Amino acid sequence: MKTFIILSLLISQTLIAKADVLPTWKDGENKQAIIKFVEKVIDKKSPEYVKPEDRIATFDNDGTLWSEVPTVEVEFTKMRLKEMIQKDPKLAQKEPYKSLVMHKKSPPKLNQKEMMEVFATTHAGMNENEFAQSVKGFFQQAKHPKLNVPYTQTAYKPMLELISYLKENEFSVFICSGGDTSFMRVVATEIYGIPSQNIIGTSLKDKTVEKDGKLSVIRTDKLDLLNDKEGKPVGINRQIGKRPIFAAGNVRSGGDIDHLRYSKEGALPSLQLMINHDDAKRESAYNEKDNQSLNMAKKYGWKIISIKDDWGDVFSKTKVEVSTNE
Amino acid sequence: MKTFIILSLLISQTLIAKADVLPTWKDGENKQAIIKFVEKVIDKKSPEYVKPEDRIATFDNDGTLWSEVPTVEVEFTKMRLKEMIQKDPKLAQKEPYKSLVMHKKSPPKLNQKEMMEVFATTHAGMNENEFAQSVKGFFQQAKHPKLNVPYTQTAYKPMLELISYLKENEFSVFICSGGDTSFMRVVATEIYGIPSQNIIGTSLKDKTVEKDGKLSVIRTDKLDLLNDKEGKPVGINRQIGKRPIFAAGNVRSGGDIDHLRYSKEGALPSLQLMINHDDAKRESAYNEKDNQSLNMAKKYGWKIISIKDDWGDVFSKTKVEVSTNE
């Protein structure tokens, strides 16, 4: 009798656990495809079993894990620029800073060289602690203009569930984003539960310096890696050394096409998600002009995730503490 | 009574567990310092408690985790050079290859530029799979000249125990070596239980290429990072984004001084080991001319580990399988 009760309890717990998988995802083909994929690669008896050490998952950040309207790091860059101009007003007379400062509402489109210059100017010259403090200051003040909450509360709830689900099934989960690695590291553990060593992003070349008898690593203004488009496989290979068997990105710039192809074209079973921003009401509706990301998704068999149709809710409103100490 | 038996069992198991910690390390000040440090940082009641996500440990590889007499990757480089000369005999007429080929027993000392050229020539031009296959071929054939076992069996037994001990206590364990990252990745999981994403080493710049409709990452002959001396803090910050609270290196070239300083000069409690090769009988006896590594160890309070006095046994003779498939 006792055994029977224990067995019944175990079975009902298993059923509850199953029913609870990805609760914010609406039932449908995409949710089922994700669950089916995970169950297949963790099943030792399946011909598509994948060993835990090869269960690598990579997620783009802006537009895949949190809102990119506006892009959070661009908002940080504007704040840094403002601080820098207060200290050195001459900066506001120089291009491309002048145009940026003049057009507050809709800043001019910069070419890649100008963008890299603004990136280097606002992100370089600090050591790792000083930069982290600057980023923390931003996250403590800034709010999302439409949602009116700190940016740390703009993560997508369904994606947080997906990260947890993969981790529970012994996946190593990484961010693979065009954003600056050190910028994301400041909040990625608190928001996503992803540790600093699992963040792959764009980086500036560092160098070791000695100050007051102590070593630290300082950010130079030279680009180390632009982790976007064809840079993503490079970043993944450099930091992980394995192809992801699960990869997620989103439409906007085509920045994740090579990321998802690199996953799909590996030797192991794999699944890719391309998130489509088609929900103007709850989030934002946008796509790239040439429709390239969606076309590639169809060509390669990636799952197109519709925010409107696949997600029961969009934003995690969970409060996230950004500590002030080092 | 039942409770008493369970309690007794628990206590005796704890005692057994304690007695089993680092069994190949001889009892003494250094072994006690390691255990005391770990027990302190995992104890939530201790003022020196460190959260699991900050328990980062970094180990140099050559001379710290396995034998570096001869340096394994230099032996691989010689094998690659031989293969390349067989395909292109003209290479043997060009310097620095000519001198290398002429002096088989004691190759000439190359300057850094020549070394980098040989490194790039023998390590570049392949994609990630091709390079891994080449390294696997080496490990399946080559043997340590003195020990007469495959190089995969030349890991230090006390260090394997130390890695396991740290992992059991929720440390994230990384290799931080001057060796090539992709070279080490081929065997590090099998030998040390350290996954490919936890290997920080010297790297060549990669680029994404498309061949037969598939993307892969190919190794160019341009240096990405020389992960030695002042390059080690850069490699650590780039890949982990946190300072290690436990770091181990060895005497020979001063290559680990900045590595250990970067750990020691962090904000959290930390411990550093400097391994001294003083055991000509069981391993090798060597030091750098200016004694810099040992001097720095004394200056900064790093533990100097004597292979002769601190290790009851040196080599793990455990057989390691190097798989042939991709």
What is the per-residue pLDDT for A4? 57
- Kindly indicate the confidence band of residue B166, based on its pLDDT and cuts at 50, 70 and 90: very high
Task: Determine the Cα–Cα distance for residues B122 and B289; give it in Å rounded to an integer.
Answer: 30
Chain A residues lying within 8 Å of B241, measured CB to CB: 128, 181-182, 185, 196-197, 199
Longest Cα–Cα distance of chain A, Å, equals 83
What is the per-residue pLDDT for A321? 83
Q: Is the pLDDT at B190 greater than 60, yes or no? A: yes
Task: Determine the Cα–Cα distance for residues B240 and B195; give it in Å rounded to an integer.
Answer: 14
Cα distance between the two ends of chain A? 56
Nearest CB to B237 within list A195, A206, A237: A206
Inter-chain residue contact B230 with A242, CB threshold 8 Å: no
Chain A residues lying within 8 Å of B238, measured CB to CB: 181, 203, 206, 224
Chain A residues lying within 8 Å of B216, measured CB to CB: 233, 265
CA distance A12 to chain B (A): 30
Q: Is the pLDDT at B203 greater than 80, yes or no? A: yes
Q: Is the pLDDT at A123 greater than 60, yes or no? A: yes
- Could you tell me which residues of chain A have a Cβ less than 8 Å from any Cβ in chain B? 53, 56, 128, 172, 174, 181-182, 185, 189, 195-199, 203, 206-208, 214-217, 224, 230-231, 233-234, 237-242, 258, 261-262, 265, 267, 326
* CB-based burial, A112-127: b 16+ in 10 Å, e otherwise: eebeebbbbbbbbebb
Please compute the mean of the pLDDT values over residues A256-270 and round it to a whole number.
98
Tokens describing residue A240: 């992980």
- Kindly indicate the confidence band of residue A101, based on its pLDDT and cuts at 50, 70 and 90: confident
What is the per-residue pLDDT for B101? 76
Amino acid (one-letter) located at B65: L
Cβ pair B186, B322 in contact under 8 A: yes
What is the per-residue pLDDT for A317? 84
Amino acid (one-letter) located at B262: Y
Using alpha carbons, list the distances in angstroms from residue B275 to B133, B181, B304: 32, 22, 6
- Kindly indicate the confidence band of residue B9, based on its pLDDT and cuts at 50, 70 and 90: low
Q: Is residue A28 helix, strand or coil?
A: coil
Amino acid (one-letter) located at B75: E
ipTM of the complex: 0.92
Partners of B250 in the β-ladder: B275
What is the per-residue pLDDT for A20? 79
Tokens describing residue A272: 């890719």
Give the β-pairing of A246-250 and A271-276. Answer: parallel
Q: Residue B125: enclosing H or E segment and its boundaries?
A: none
Residues B209-268 pLDDT 10s: 999 999 999 999 999 999 999 999 999 999 999 999 999 999 999 999 999 999 999 999
Axis-axis angle for helices B29-41, B157-168 (nearest 10): 20
Q: Is the pLDDT at A42 greater than 90, yes or no? A: yes
Across the A/B interface, how many CB contacts are shorter than 8 Å? 96
Q: How many residues make up chain B in this entry? A: 326
Task: Determine the Cα–Cα distance for residues A215 and A253; give it in Å rounded to an integer.
Answer: 39
CA distance A139 to chain B (A): 19
Cβ pair A46, A59 in contact under 8 A: no
| Per-residue DSSP letter, A90 | G
Inter-chain residue contact B182 with A239, CB threshold 8 Å: no
Residues A164-219 pLDDT 10s: 999 999 999 999 999 999 999 999 999 999 999 999 999 999 999 999 999 999 99
Q: Which residue of A has its CA nearest to B242?
A: A196
Cβ pair B284, B259 in contact under 8 A: no
Residues A44-61 pLDDT 10s: 999 999 999 999 999 999
Name which of B248, B243, B239, B244 is nearest B161 in CA terms.
B248
Tokens describing residue A20: 């609870």
CB hemisphere CA count around A309 (13 angstroms): 10
Using alpha carbons, list the distances in angstroms from residue B266 to A128, B55, B201: 12, 12, 21
Residues B106-153 pLDDT 10s: 667 888 888 889 999 999 999 999 999 999 999 999 999 999 999 999
Nearest CB to B206 within list A199, A203, A238: A238
Cβ pair A219, A127 in contact under 8 A: yes
Task: Determine the Cα–Cα distance for residues A119 and B174; give it in Å rounded to an integer.
Answer: 30
Q: Which residue of A has its CA nearest to B263?
A: A215
Q: Is the pLDDT at A304 greater than 80, yes or no? A: yes
Chain B residues lying within 8 Å of A56, measured CB to CB: 197
Name which of B132, B134, B137, B163 is nearest B66 in CA terms.
B163
Helices (H) and strands (E) in chain A, counts: 12, 7
Inter-chain residue contact B197 with A231, CB threshold 8 Å: no
**What is the Cα Rg of chain A in Å?**
21
> What is the average pLDDT value for chain A, to the nearest integer?
92
What is the per-residue pLDDT for B323? 72
What is the per-residue pLDDT for B99? 80
Q: Is the pLDDT at A105 greater than 80, yes or no? A: no
Cβ pair B215, B128 in contact under 8 A: no
- Kindly indicate the confidence band of residue B20, based on its pLDDT and cuts at 50, 70 and 90: confident
Q: Is residue B222 helix, strand or coil?
A: strand
Inter-chain residue contact A239 with B197, CB threshold 8 Å: yes
What is the per-residue pLDDT for A100? 79
| Per-residue DSSP letter, A139 | H
Q: Residue B204: enclosing H or E segment and its boundaries?
A: strand B199-211
- Kindly indicate the confidence band of residue B17, based on its pLDDT and cuts at 50, 70 and 90: low
Please compute the mean of the pLDDT values over residues A106-126 and round it to a whole number.
87
Question: Residues B8, B14, B19, CA angle at the centre, nearest 5°?
Answer: 125
Please, which residues have CB within 8 angstroms of residue B220's CB and are 6 or more apart in sequence?
A: B124, B204, B205, B206, B207
- Kindly indicate the confidence band of residue B317, based on its pLDDT and cuts at 50, 70 and 90: confident
Q: Is the pLDDT at B37 greater than 90, yes or no? A: yes
Question: Residues A211, A198, A172, CA angle at the centre, nearest 5°?
Answer: 155
Q: Which of B131, B211, B217 to mutate to test the interface with A (most CBs of A within 10 A)?
A: B217
Name which of A123, A118, A125 is nearest A135 in CA terms.
A123
Nearest CB to B196 within list A203, A233, A242: A242
Cα distance between the two ends of chain B? 57
Q: Which of B214, B226, B238, B239 to mutate to test the interface with A (most CBs of A within 10 A)?
A: B238
What torsion, rounded to 10 degrees, do the Cα atoms B165, B170, B171, B173 define?
A: 80
Please compute the mean of the pLDDT values over residues A99-104 and round it to a whole number.
73
Cβ pair B314, B63 in contact under 8 A: no
Residues A135-158 pLDDT 10s: 999 999 999 999 999 999 999 999
Residues B85-112 pLDDT 10s: 999 999 999 888 888 777 666 667 888 8
Chain B residues lying within 8 Å of A259, measured CB to CB: none
Q: Is the pLDDT at B15 greater than 60, yes or no? A: no
Alpha-helix residue ranges (DSSP H) falling in B96-206: 97-102, 112-123, 128-141, 157-168, 181-192
Chain A residues lying within 8 Å of B233, measured CB to CB: 208, 215-217
Q: What order do you get walking across the sheet with B303-306 strand by strand? A: B214-225, B199-211, B172-180, B56-59, B246-250, B271-276, B303-306
| Per-residue DSSP letter, B115 | H
Nearest CB to A128 within list B174, B230, B237: B237
Please compute the mean of the pLDDT values over residues A72-87 and round it to a whole number.
93
What is the per-residue pLDDT for B1? 53
CB hemisphere CA count around B4 (13 angstroms): 1
Nearest CB to B233 within list A172, A215, A258: A215
Q: How many residues make up chain A in this entry? A: 326
Q: Is the pLDDT at A324 greater than 70, yes or no? A: no
Nearest CB to A53 within list B189, B208, B241: B189
pLDDT-above-90 percentage for chain A: 82
Chain B residues lying within 8 Å of A238, measured CB to CB: 181, 203, 206, 224
Residues A15-39 pLDDT 10s: 555 557 999 999 999 999 999 999 9
What is the per-residue pLDDT for B14? 53
Residues B278-301 pLDDT 10s: 999 999 999 898 999 999 999 999
Centre a 10 Å sphere on the Cβ of residue A77 and count the other Cβ atoms it contains.
Answer: 21
Task: Determine the Cα–Cα distance for residues B233 and A206; give it in Å rounded to an integer.
Answer: 9
Name which of A266, A267, A253, A265 is nearest A299 in CA terms.
A265
Chain A residues lying within 8 Å of B267, measured CB to CB: 326
Q: Is the pLDDT at A1 greater than 60, yes or no? A: no
Task: Determine the Cα–Cα distance for residues B62 and B68; give it in Å rounded to an integer.
Answer: 5
- Kindly indicate the confidence band of residue A314, based on its pLDDT and cuts at 50, 70 and 90: very high
Whole-prediction pTM value? 0.93
Chain A residues lying within 8 Å of B231, measured CB to CB: 208
Please, which residues have CB within 8 angstroms of residue B83's CB and are 6 or more apart in sequence?
A: none
Q: Is the pLDDT at B177 greater than 90, yes or no? A: yes
Please compute the mean of the pLDDT values over residues B269-275 and round it to a whole number.
98
Q: Is the pLDDT at A75 greater than 90, yes or no? A: yes
